[in-house]
Structure 1
């Protein structure tokens, strides 16, 4: 396992969409393992492959306090979203020190594959739903900054250069 380098905003590679995973095997399992180690190293609760400069639709998430419940989503897709929303105060390992309340669906249904290529469906609610939506944004080339106002972006740029 290895700790991977994380791209930082405004790196233009964060704006590129990821490609679906088509090949399953040792290389993918190694990527997932490295992504989990990287996420835990940064004390994050989610990480997408584009954040480590891999343009594949791979997401890892773990909301447990003791890093005991990793969730791996390959080619994840939101198949339905509840109409009720909440604001979640989100941060991002690619944009350190920046937090923003984002309006997200409180409950979503996900269709995905696991690291071995087996399909599954799940319902995610609350923080887990918000985290998955955040990571899927990364797969689509969107960052937390894409949800920010011009004023918030400007304030971040000023504070990041101090």
Structure 2
């Protein structure tokens, strides 16, 4: 397993639709394990191959509080969502240090392919529903800040630019590898 370099906002890959992946391929399994290792190192609770500049429809999620362990979703799609919504803080491993509240449906149903090639559907609520929506948006080319109002997005972008400037002026290098893929 390996920690992959992450791309940073505003890299164009973060706004491109990813291609379907062969869930049964050995390379996909290796990539999923590398994504999990990278996500834990970032740290994060969800990540896509797109965050590493690999334009494949592969999502990994590991919620430390649910006792389920790591989840791998190949080619996931939301097939249903509730009308009830919830607002929670979101961020991205590709925009470290920045978070903002995002409102999304409280519950979803997701169809995906398991690593053995079988099709599955899962219902999710709470934090898992949020993570699935966030990461599926990403593989569909929708970076999370596009879900913010224009005013809030402008504020987030200003905070991120200041954070990046401050790090550059202080000579701070991220301890996490980044990429300019």
Match of 1:159 in 2: 163
User: Contact 2:23–2:114 at 8 Å: present in 1 too?
Assistant: no
TM-score, scaled to structure 2: 0.84
TM-score, scaled to structure 1: 0.93
Aligned residues: 162
Q: Give RMSD over aligned pairs.
A: 1.7
The Cα shift of 1:67 comes to 8.1
Match of 1:31 in 2: 31
The Cα shift of 1:23 comes to 6.1
1:92-148 CA-partner distances (Å, limit 9, x unpaired) = 111001001000111000100112211111101001000111101110112122234
Match of 1:145 in 2: 145
**Which segment is superposed worse, 19-28 or 119-128?**
19-28
The Cα shift of 1:68 comes to 6.1
What is the rounded CA distance, in whole Å, between the counterparts of 2:147 and 2:82 in structure 1? 20
**Which segment is superposed worse, 147-156 or 89-98?**
147-156
Match of 1:99 in 2: 99
What is the rounded CA distance, in whole Å, between the counterparts of 2:56 and 2:99 in structure 1? 26
Greater C-alpha radius of gyration: 2
- Structure 2: any 5+ residue segments left out of the alignment? 167-181
